[in-house]
């Protein structure tokens, strides 16, 4: 045990997760582990609600309410007004809906501003939407080191699409400052919270953010392919046009009217029938957050990443790892550049330490404060040191690329 584990107020929360023996899991930022509550809930939903209740469960078991009721549980984790979050579809699809709605809310402007190194699906969705609207690809402007955001946002910017925590570098952007900057120019802001929700405090309402999306399967631990969450500030909801205007977003879906008429409030963000099994797993996974606070999660996350960075220092000097995470503005992950990052990551996984590789040369380590121990961090770095010393990454099996990295 590491001394910090003795005084860790979050240590009791680890038992809520089913973590395989002999594995140190530094990839909860990509796919959260299995919460024990989800196992119990899935069994109940499959065997009782589906198996016995059948179609009656849409009402009796509250299935039809899940997009809202799960959203109500996510709202405090992202600093959102209680009834302004819904759970539905994937992050990519929800981004499409919000980008389209935001452009329509700002019709005299053409531009979308994002970042060149944001998660690619965000850019792909923007590119696809522009093509569909018959607009020029150049309507999407990408900020980069040589063209900072401040120089990209202007009077023609309709919407700014930003990742709160960068998936590759781990940099956490200043939500309050950047939202205010965009608003000064009259632009709307969509925040992608994929790598922050569940790991650190987010204050959407306080920052006056316009819109947000995020993943259910990363730090929220909702399971592979868990549905995404979508947020629209209450002030925008009445004007918001969902381009995927399906019946679940209708004011009265079971009137089966031939004419679409959007629901009042955030329900208009919905499209079709919710994936009940996935929603139930995510709902159960969220229970653990009621045992702690975001401030406590953040404090531990910062301590875990600080410990890792400190222990990694000698490896950086000896083996050429370069920490590219801006430490003062870090999220809950650390990213090390190394020319052999892919093979090193595979060799590390073979030793029971699961991190991931991000092209072209990044070893990414995620630190989920709900279940990681400080001892896990020191063991992980010790395993990395041992494999570098033995040059274990040179083995051919560690140099073959799999489909998912
Ligand atoms: C993980 C991630 C996504 C994933 O989108 P899906 O539609 O769930 O595949 C989107 N954006 C960011 C920033 C991510 O990190």
Residue 147 pLDDT class (50, 70, 90 cuts): very high
Backbone angles phi, psi at 190, to 5 degrees: -110, 125
Ligand 1 midpoint to CA 162 (Å): 12
Among the listed residues 27, 192, 210, 376, the single catalytic one is: 192
In ligand 1, which atom is closest to the CA atom of 192? Answer: 13
Among the listed residues 73, 168, 218, 373, the single catalytic one is: 218
Ligand 1 midpoint to CA 319 (Å): 32
The reported pLDDT for the residue numbered 134 is 97
Q: What is the mean pLDDT of residues 65-76?
A: 98
CA distance 180 to 98: 19
The reported pLDDT for the residue numbered 404 is 84
Ligand 1 midpoint to CA 326 (Å): 21
pLDDT in tens, 282-293: 999 999 999 999
Ligand 1 midpoint to CA 119 (Å): 7
CA distance 95 to 97: 5
Give the residue whose CA is nearest to atom 10 of ligand 1. 91
pLDDT in tens, 309-331: 999 999 999 999 999 999 999 99
The reported pLDDT for the residue numbered 405 is 79
CA distance 118 to 123: 8
Q: What is the mean pLDDT of residues 138-166?
A: 97
Among the listed residues 17, 96, 119, 167, the single catalytic one is: 119
Ligand 1 pocket test, candidate residues 117, 167, 213, most atoms within 8 A of CB = 167
Ligand 1 midpoint to CA 193 (Å): 9
Q: Is 135 a catalytic residue?
A: no
Q: What is the DSSP letter of 185?
A: T
Ligand 1 pocket test, candidate residues 87, 92, 227, most atoms within 8 A of CB = 92
Ligand 1 midpoint to CA 244 (Å): 19
391-398, Cβ contacts within 8 angstroms, sequence gap of 24 or more:
392/347, 392/350, 393/340, 393/343, 393/344, 393/346, 393/347, 394/343, 395/347, 397/346, 398/342, 398/343, 398/344, 398/346, 398/347, 398/350
Residue 221 pLDDT class (50, 70, 90 cuts): very high
Among the listed residues 41, 97, 268, 364, the single catalytic one is: 364
CA distance 35 to 15: 9
CA distance 237 to 327: 37
Q: What is the DSSP letter of 228?
A: E
Query: Looking at the predicted structure, is the pLDDT value of residue 109 above 90?
Result: yes
pTM of the model: 0.97
What is the separation, in whole angstroms, between the first and last Cα of the chain? 31
Ligand 1 midpoint to CA 121 (Å): 7
Q: Give how far Cα 195 sits from Cα of 165, 170, 334, Å.
A: 5, 8, 12
Ligand 1 pocket test, candidate residues 32, 87, 91, 404, most atoms within 8 A of CB = 91
Q: Give how far Cα 336 sits from Cα of 117, 160, 165, 361, Å.
A: 16, 28, 16, 8
Q: Is 119 a catalytic residue?
A: yes
Among the listed residues 217, 336, 367, 374, the single catalytic one is: 217
Closest CA to 369 of 216, 201, 228, 206: 201
In ligand 1, which atom is closest to the CA atom of 215? Answer: 8
Ligand 1 pocket test, candidate residues 96, 119, 168, 195, most atoms within 8 A of CB = 119
Percent of the chain with pLDDT over 70: 100
Query: Looking at the predicted structure, is the pLDDT value of residue 349 above 90?
Result: yes
CA distance 213 to 190: 8
Give the residue whose CA is nearest to atom 5 of ligand 1. 91
Q: Is 218 a catalytic residue?
A: yes
Residue 401 pLDDT class (50, 70, 90 cuts): confident
| Ligand 1 shell residues, CB under 6 Å | 90-92, 119, 121-122, 163, 167, 192, 194-195, 215, 228
In ligand 1, which atom is closest to the CA atom of 30? Answer: 1
Q: Is 231 a catalytic residue?
A: no
252 exposure class (CB count in 10 Å sphere: 0-12, 13-18, 19+) = exposed
Give the residue whose CA is nearest to atom 15 of ligand 1. 194
The reported pLDDT for the residue numbered 403 is 84
Ligand 1 midpoint to CA 317 (Å): 33
């Amino acid at each position: 045990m590491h001394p910090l584990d003795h005084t860790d107020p979050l240590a009791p929360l680890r038992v809520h997760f089913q973590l395989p023996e002999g594995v140190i899991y530094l990839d909860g930022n990509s796919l959260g582990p299995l919460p024990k509550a989800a196992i119990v809930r899935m069994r109940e939903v499959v065997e009782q609600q589906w198996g016995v209740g059948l179609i009656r469960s849409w009402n009796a078991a509250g299935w039809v309410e899940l997009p809202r009721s799960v959203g109500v549980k996510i709202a405090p984790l992202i600093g959102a007004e209680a009834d302004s979050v819904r759970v539905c579809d994937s992050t990519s699809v929800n981004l499409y809906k919000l980008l389209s709605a935001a452009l329509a809310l700002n019709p005299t402007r053409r531009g979308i501003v994002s970042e060149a190194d944001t998660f690619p699906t965000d850019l792909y969705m923007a590119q696809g939407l522009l093509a569909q609207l018959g607009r020029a690809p150049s309507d999407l402007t990408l900020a980069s080191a040589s063209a900072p955001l401040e120089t990209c946002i202007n009077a023609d910017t309709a919407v700014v699409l930003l990742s709160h925590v960068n998936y590759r570098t781990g940099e956490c952007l200043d939500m309050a400052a950047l939202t205010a900057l965009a608003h000064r120019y009259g632009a709307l802001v969509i925040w992608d919270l994929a790598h922050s929700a569940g790991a650190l405090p987010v204050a959407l309402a306080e920052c006056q953010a316009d819109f947000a999306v995020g993943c259910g399967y990363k730090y929220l631990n909702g399971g592979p392919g868990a549905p995404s969450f979508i947020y629209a500030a209450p002030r925008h909801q009445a004007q918001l046009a969902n381009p995927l205007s399906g019946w679940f977003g209708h004011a009265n879906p079971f009137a089966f009217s031939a004419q679409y008429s959007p629901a009042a409030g955030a329900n208009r963000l919905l499209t079709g029938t919710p994936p009940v099994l996935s929603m139930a797993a995510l709902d159960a996974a969220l229970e653990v957050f009621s045992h702690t606070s975001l401030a406590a999660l953040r404090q531990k996350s910062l301590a875990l990443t600080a410990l890792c960075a400190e222990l990694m220092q000698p490896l950086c000097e000896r083996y050429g790892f370069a920490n590219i995470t801006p430490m003062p503005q870090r999220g809950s992950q650390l990213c090390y550049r190394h020319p052999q990052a892919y093979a090193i990551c595979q060799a590390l996984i073979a030793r029971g330490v699961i991190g991931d590789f991000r092209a072209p040369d990044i070893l990414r380590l995620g630190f989920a404060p709900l279940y990681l121990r400080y001892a896990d961090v020191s063991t992980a770095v010790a395993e990395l040191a041992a494999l570098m010393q033995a040059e274990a990454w040179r083995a051919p099996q560690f140099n073959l690329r799999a489909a998912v990295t």
